[in-house]
């Protein structure tokens, strides 16, 4: 059994600039060798018997300076500081001597599976996705891991001091990077213990009297407190913070590339005339971005590749822009050139007017609708939306000797590495699919069947057996990791856009054409808005039968959505071979239960559709088919955007139809609340509910004949939804204001569970006689379990609510002839300060003891706050407008129905 | 290409560039002052805001040939040590999220406080002065609060 850390590779130290003298401490709770059952679940044993993993912490032997490697992408959520401070808290690091270093894409060293890394546990997200910063899961996944990293190293330091001084470890205390021995008054700095620490770590004591490793909450310095540091704030306000375009690669010969892209997804380059562009002073080269024959479809993520384009490479940005302006290009626009988003809206609405594929049902909806005293029905429409982060996409790539070094703002460092690697090293799309080959033992129940079908098919196509397939996959991954270095920078906003690395691939392609010369691909705002990965356009149709008491006896909810899985996995195409179509379909089905083309994936259906929280006896939820003609991706809260808009608006429509108070009616819809176990979903015919990749149920694994908990479970729990509604009603003075607001003023309410957290919103609006809307105040309540960094979570609530207001009031991407119509903030407006309410206040709701007692271990696991605030905003606002005497708005953007100044 | 003299943050820089080059790109690409950000290129978002003779302008839409007639201040020159009242208030109230738009926000706010001669602006004055600066993270409520704080007042 090895120790918990080691002096790691010189190469790593050289590249990270820490200096070769430093001791690098890595720590993992996920040993390759199964632990003995006797060793679990005592934290003491877990930290004792970890294995050398990687590079989260480095301590310099001379100064005691500590470097913490932050592995998640920082895009405004503050996670860089928060996770590091959690680690430092448990480590008892002296924060004044701590520096943070953004880690490279490094699936080997940072490949810590989550949520509960324990031996024998199936990884919820595999190690290679550990840096992929999406789904509001950084803190949920890594809070405990970071605490254990810190505490484990602190324990080693205590043991090292005990060995050095020949005293009992229990007599020692760690405080601010020093070990104290109370009895003798001695103390010693961590960095003076490094040699002893190495010995102790490599040969942990057979027995150890130290039982408690993790700090208790009263001992925390940062966790859960206002003292949480925000390391980049000062650099951000002085202009020193380094974003993608700000990286100084130390080369004056760097070229800046501006690209003219084909306006239609999957179109191809026909010809171009570079004469005029080359005549612009400073322009050096004009050339196609994609190599001839580069796959436009086919293979995993093939549609995540760049649009076809022609690049103008110049000495500076202005010259590149000038050159691009005069560049003449002809395209073969391809089959998507007929795509028209207005016509498509008609198709979506036609789709939801017909029965779709049932994805959850109970009772007899049709019977109950037939016997209803009153039938309410409504359709809602949400257009494509672009994320529009303030920093447009940008990447700098340098190619030499068969290797790429890339600096870029990215939410997915390993994902960027993976796509760049496949595109550069493996031109055959079929071989890209090897990446998805997965051992069934890695998977949860419900995922294995589709994975097996895929594994068998791809192995057959390649004419290899399964072990060879897995070896090919591992070799490919290693080759990619060896050849592609990704250095993530700060992100000037992400919101899902920077999950998709098409801009990084563009830089890598161009760099390959110019070995030795760094190339910066700079996107303009026009590029960003016209070549996004758009949030799905969607239509929602709801129908309810109200009984004589006004309560719904039956509810039907249909959703048609353009699935982002159609972008990841090419839909069946007549121009592709039967073999290609078959393997692509199997790949999609295997990847997170992606389902089949025309329908939403498991992930999208789980975001506010299948997890309908209302207590209604007769319920049928259907997914209606929808084609796809444009690159779709993710935007802050993703499928919750359209599902919450439909469902939470409709809840209010039912209340209005029943003549009831909206808040009281909503509470009645939720009822007393319940936990949705997997059994509940099964009973109601949901075969595999995707719970943001986290397990619904408490998860136990058998290790050495003993059952060990690896996850407390994250069940949808409508008692918690109820609690946030009650809290926001109280905060907003809902009951006191009822019937007392002046004409033209109204409150609207909505509540939604998104990315495992529960949010309720009350919006207070005024609507004057000119139909001008003013948003007076917004109240929010959030239950995310435990709040680790209160200030940043408040900030996420403020920001997430404003993001929701922005798309609700103003957001719309339209497509004509396959090309996006909008191109800058003048015609794709986003919320500005004068449109922002004067007050946005948030309360954190702590789960009640009655709720907590049902969670194993007596603790509700903490969840995220980045995406949860957003979805309930649009419906709460729509409901408020009705309450203020305005129209019922069933489509985004609202500015078409009310005046937004 | 022509020779221009740019007075930036109290220093004189002589550059040989196209006079139509927007000041933004001269600052970033030629002078290496990267605190001024590119957000839209058409004076819609304010990320590139700098001061010309103390007035807030969008540097993406001012040519070098025009900018050379004024004293230019960028975020790097607002203070030598982050001690401008806006910078201090921004840090104290935790205004930034991703931070990308904040140099532009601060330059607009600083110009507002110069215009009010340090008096605490009303929320309406803030909205008018700051509506040209977009923040996608949604830091607007804290920006308002920080401007009041920087002006020595409490939020209204």
- Terminus-to-terminus CA distance in chain B, angstroms? 51
B114/A13 Cα distance (integer angstroms): 48
> Around Cβ A219, how many Cβ atoms within 10 Å?
11
Does any CB of chain B come closer than 8 Å to the CB of residue A800? yes
Cross-chain CB nearest to A390 (options B30, B45, B76): B45
Tokens in use for A808? 């609700």
- The answer to whether residue A548 neighbours chain B at the CB level (below 8 Å) is no
The torsion angles phi and psi of B79, rounded to 5 degrees, stand at -150, 160
Chain B residues with CB-CB distance to A833 below 8 A:
126-127, 130-131, 133, 135, 140, 143-144
pLDDT band at A300 (very low <50, low <70, confident <90, very high): very low
Q: Please, which pLDDT band fits residue A121 given cuts at 50, 70 and 90?
A: very low
Q: For residue range A496-507, what is the model confidence (pLDDT) as tens digits?
A: 999 999 999 999
Q: A710 or A72, which is more confident?
A: A72
- The closest alpha carbon to A648, from A638, A659, A663, belongs to A663
Distance CA A611, CA A621 (A): 10
d(CA A630, CA A272): 24
Element (H, E) at A8: none
Q: Do residues A142 and A72 touch, judged by C-beta distance below 8 A?
A: yes
Q: Check CB contact of A279 with chain B, cutoff 8 Å.
A: no
Residue A855, SS3 per DSSP: coil
pLDDT beyond 50 at A2: no
A251-293 pLDDT, tens digit each: 999 999 999 999 998 889 999 999 999 999 999 999 999 998 7
Helix, strand, or coil (residue A307): coil
What number is the ipTM of this complex?
Answer: 0.98
* Long-range contacts from A847-855, C-beta under 8 angstroms, 24+ separation: A847/A720, A847/A723, A847/A783, A847/A785, A848/A719, A848/A723, A850/A719, A851/A717, A851/A719, A851/A720, A851/A723, A854/A675, A855/A712, A855/A713
Q: What is the pLDDT of residues A58-96, one digit of tens each?
A: 787 788 888 888 889 999 999 999 999 999 999 999 999
Mean pLDDT taken over chain A: 88
Residues A674, A655: Cα–Cα separation, whole Å: 22
Q: How confident is the model at residue A12 (pLDDT cuts 50, 70, 90)?
A: very low
pLDDT at A653 over 50: yes
Between positions 2 and 61 of B, the ones with CB within 8 A of A are 18, 21-22, 25, 28-30, 32-42, 44-45, 47
- Asked whether residue A37 carries a pLDDT value surpassing 90, the answer given is no
- pLDDT tens across B44-90, in order? 999 999 999 999 999 999 999 999 999 999 999 999 999 999 999 99
Residues paired with A172 in a beta bridge: A181
Q: What is the pLDDT of residue A352?
A: 98
Q: What is the pLDDT of residues A474-524, one digit of tens each?
A: 999 899 999 999 999 999 999 999 999 999 999 999 999 999 999 999 999
Among A302-311, A644-653, A879-888, the least confident range: A302-311
Question: Which pLDDT score is estimated for A432?
Answer: 83
- Which has more pLDDT, A155 or A290? A290
Q: What value does the CA radius of gyration of chain B take, rounded to a whole number of Å?
A: 15
pLDDT tens digits, A582-623: 998 999 999 888 899 999 999 999 999 999 999 999 999 999
pLDDT grade, residue A14 (50/70/90)?
Answer: very low
**How would residue A433 be classed by pLDDT, with cut points 50, 70 and 90?**
confident
- Residue in chain A lying closest to B128 (CA): A834
Q: What is the pLDDT of residue A836?
A: 98
Mean pLDDT, to the nearest integer, of A216-235?
A: 97
Q: Does residue A832 belong to the interface with chain B, where contact is any CB pair within 8 Å?
A: yes
Q: In this complex, is the C-beta atom of A195 within 8 Å of any C-beta atom belonging to chain B?
A: no
pLDDT band at A112 (very low <50, low <70, confident <90, very high): low
| Mean pLDDT score, A873-884 | 98
Q: What is the pLDDT of residues A674-704, one digit of tens each?
A: 999 889 999 999 988 888 878 888 777 665 5
**pLDDT at res. A31:** 31
Cβ contact A280:A316 at 8 Å? no
Give me the mean pLDDT over the B139-154 stretch.
Answer: 94
Mean pLDDT of B1-11: 96
C-alpha pair distances (Å), A213 with each of A282, A434, A470, A670 = 61, 42, 38, 41
DSSP per residue, A344-373: HHHHHHHHHTS--EEEEEES-HHHHHHT-S
Neighbours of B33 (CB within 10 A): 21
User: How far apart, in whole angstroms, are the C-alpha atoms of residue A556 and residue A554?
Assistant: 7
Query: Which residues 124-153 of chain B have a CB within 8 Å of chain A?
Result: 126-128, 130-131, 133-144
Q: What are phi and psi of A813, to 5 degrees?
A: -110, 125
- A706 - beta bridge partners? A703
Average pLDDT over residues A366-377: 97
Q: Would you place residue A106 in the very low, low, confident or very high pLDDT band (cuts 50, 70, 90)?
A: confident
CA A857 to chain centre: 27
The pLDDT value given to residue A15: 39
Best to test chain B binding among A808, A833, A873 (most B CBs inside 10 Å): A833
Query: First and final CA of chain A: distance in angstroms?
Result: 67
Pairing of strands A745-754, A757-767: antiparallel
- What SS3 string covers A814-851? CEECCEECCCCCCCCCCCCHHHCCCEEEEEECCCCHHH
More confident residue, A628 or A353: A353
Q: Is A132 helix (H, G, I), strand (E, B) or coil?
A: coil
Longest dimension (CA), chain B: 51
* pLDDT for the residue A126: 52
Alpha carbon separation from A64 to A6, A95, A172, A191, A548 (Å, rounded): 17, 11, 19, 5, 73
Q: B-contacting residues of A 840-869, CB under 8 Å?
A: 840
- The helix (run of H) or strand (run of E) holding residue A313 is strand A309-314
Q: Is pLDDT at A47 greater than 60 in this prediction?
A: no
Comparing alpha-carbon positions, the chain A residue that sits nearest to B86 is A237
Can you tell me the mean pLDDT for A785-807?
A: 98
C-alpha gyration radius of chain A: 28
Q: Is the model's pLDDT at A129 over the cut of 80? A: no
Q: How far apart are CA A6 and CA A26, in angstroms?
A: 7
Contacts of A241 in chain B (CB under 8 A): 99
Min CA distance, A820 vs chain B (Å)?
Answer: 17
Q: Which of residues 59-78 of B touch A (CB under 8 A)?
A: 74-76, 78
């Amino acid at each position: 059994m090895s120790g918990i850390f080691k002096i790691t590779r010189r190469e790593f130290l050289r590249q990270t600039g820490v200096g070769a003298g430093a001791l690098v401490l890595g720590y993992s709770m996920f040993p390759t060798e199964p632990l003995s059952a006797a060793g679990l679940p005592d934290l003491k044993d877990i930290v004792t018997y970890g294995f050398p993993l990687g590079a989260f912490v480095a301590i310099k032997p001379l100064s005691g300076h500590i470097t913490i490697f932050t592995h998640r992408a920082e895009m405004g959520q503050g996670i860089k500081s928060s996770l590091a401070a959690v680690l430092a808290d448990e480590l008892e690091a002296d924060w004044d001597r701590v520096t943070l270093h953004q880690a490279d894409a490094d699936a080997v060293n940072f490949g810590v599976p989550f949520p509960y890394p324990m031996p024998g546990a199936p990884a919820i997200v595999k190690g290679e996705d550990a840096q992929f910063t999406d789904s509001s899961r950084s803190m949920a996944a890594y809070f405990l891991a970071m605490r254990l990293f810190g505490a484990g190293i602190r324990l080693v330091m205590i043991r090292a001091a005990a060995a050095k001084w020949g005293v009992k470890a229990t007599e020692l205390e760690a405080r601010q990077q020093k070990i104290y021995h109370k009895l003798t008054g001695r103390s010693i700095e961590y960095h003076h213990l490094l040699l002893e620490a190495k010995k102790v770590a490599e040969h942990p004591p057979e027995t150890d009297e130290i039982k408690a490793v993790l700090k208790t909450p009263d001992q925390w310095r940062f966790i859960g407190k206002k003292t949480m540091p925000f390391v980049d704030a000062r650099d951000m306000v002085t202009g020193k913070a380094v974003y993608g375009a700000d990286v100084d690669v130390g080369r004056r010969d760097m070229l800046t590339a501006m690209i003219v892209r084909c306006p239609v997804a999957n179109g191809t380059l026909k010809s171009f005339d570079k004469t005029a562009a080359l005549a612009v002073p400073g322009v050096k080269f004009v050339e196609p971005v994609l190599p001839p024959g580069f796959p436009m479809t086919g293979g995993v993520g093939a549609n995540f590749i760049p649009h076809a384009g022609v690049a103008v490479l110049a000495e500076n940005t202005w010259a590149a822009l000038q050159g691009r302006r005069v560049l003449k290009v002809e395209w073969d626009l391809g089959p998507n050139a007929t795509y028209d988003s207005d016509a498509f809206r008609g198709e979506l609405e036609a789709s939801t007017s017909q029965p779709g594929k049932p994805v959850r049902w109970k009772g007899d909806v049709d019977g109950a609708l037939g016997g209803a005293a009153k039938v309410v029905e409504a359709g809602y429409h949400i257009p494509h939306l672009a994320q529009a982060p303030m920093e447009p996409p940008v990447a700098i790539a340098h190619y030499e000797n068969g290797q790429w070094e890339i600096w870029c703002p990215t939410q997915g460092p390993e994902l960027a590495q993976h796509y760049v690697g496949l595109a550069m090293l493996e031109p055959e799309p079929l071989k890209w699919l090897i990446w998805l080959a997965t051992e069934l033992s890695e998977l949860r129940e419900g995922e294995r069947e589709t994975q097996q079908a895929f594994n068998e098919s791809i192995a057959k196509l390649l004419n290899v057996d399964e072990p060879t397939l897995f070896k090919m996959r591992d070799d490919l991954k290693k080759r990619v990791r060896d050849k592609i270095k990704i250095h993530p920078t700060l992100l000037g906003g992400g919101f899902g856009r920077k999950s998709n690395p098409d801009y990084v691939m563009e830089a890598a392609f161009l760099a390959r054409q110019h070995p030795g010369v760094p190339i910066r691909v700079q996107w303009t705002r026009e590029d960003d808005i016209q070549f996004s990965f758009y949030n799905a356009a969607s239509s929602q149709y709801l129908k309810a039968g109200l009984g004589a008491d006004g309560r719904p006896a039956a509810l039907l909810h249909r959703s048609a959505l353009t699935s982002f899985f159609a972008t990841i996995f090419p839909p069946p195409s007549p121009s592709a071979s039967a073999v290609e179509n078959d393997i692509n379909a199997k790949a999609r089905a295997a990847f997170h239960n992606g389902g089949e083309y025309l329908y939403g994936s498991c992930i999208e259906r789980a975001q506010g559709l299948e997890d309908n929280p209302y207590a209604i006896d007769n319920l049928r939820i259907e997914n209606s088919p929808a084609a796809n003609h444009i690159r779709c991706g993710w935007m802050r809260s993703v499928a919750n955007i359209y599902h919450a808009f439909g469902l939470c608006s409709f809840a209010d429509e039912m209340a209005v139809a029943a003549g009831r108070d909206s808040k009281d009616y909503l509470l009645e819809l939720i009822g007393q609340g319940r936990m949705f176990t997997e059994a509940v979903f099964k009973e109601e015919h949901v075969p595999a509910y995707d719970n943001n990749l986290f397990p619904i149920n408490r998860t136990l694994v058998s290790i050495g004949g003993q059952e060990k908990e690896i996850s407390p479970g994250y069940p949808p729990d409508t008692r918690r939804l109820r609690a946030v509604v009650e809290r926001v009603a109280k905060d907003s003075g809902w009951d006191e204001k009822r019937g007392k607001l002046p004409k033209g003023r109204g409150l609207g309410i909505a509540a939604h569970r998104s990315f495992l957290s529960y949010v309720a919103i009350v919006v207070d609006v005024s609507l004057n006689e000119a139909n001008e809307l003013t948003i007076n105040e917004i109240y929010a309540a959030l239950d995310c379990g435990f709040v680790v960094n209160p200030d940043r979570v408040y900030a996420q609530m403020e920001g997430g609510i404003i993001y929701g207001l922005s798309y609700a009031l103003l957001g719309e991407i339209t497509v004509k002839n396959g090309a996006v119509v909008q191109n800058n903030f003048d015609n794709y407006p986003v919320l500005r300060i004068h449109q922002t309410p004067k007050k946005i206040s948030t309360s954190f709701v702590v789960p009640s003891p009655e709720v907590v007692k049902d969670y194993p271990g007596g603790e509700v696991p903490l969840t995220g706050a980045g995406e949860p605030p957003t979805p309930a905003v649009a419906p709460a606002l729509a409901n408020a407008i009705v309450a203020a005497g305005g129209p019922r708005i069933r489509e985004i953007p609202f500015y078409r129905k009310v005046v937004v100044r | 290409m022509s020779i221009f003299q740019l007075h930036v943050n109290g220093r004189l820089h002589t550059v040989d560039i196209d006079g139509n080059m927007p000041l933004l790109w001269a600052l970033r690409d030629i002078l290496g002052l990267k605190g001024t950000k590119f957000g839209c290129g058409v004076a819609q978002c304010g990320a590139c805001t700098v001061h010309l003779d103390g007035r807030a302008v969008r540097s993406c839409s001012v040519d070098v040939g025009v900018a050379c007639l004024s004293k230019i201040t960028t975020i790097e020159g607002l203070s030598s040590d982050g001690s401008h009242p806006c910078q201090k208030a921004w840090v104290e109230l935790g205004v930034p999220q991703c931070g990308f738009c904040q140099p532009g926000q601060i330059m607009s706010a600083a110009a507002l406080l110069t215009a009010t001669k340090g008096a605490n602006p009303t929320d309406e004055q803030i909205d008018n002065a700051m509506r040209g600066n977009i923040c996608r993270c949604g830091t607007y409520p804290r920006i308002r609060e920080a401007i009041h704080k920087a002006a020595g007042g409490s939020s209204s």
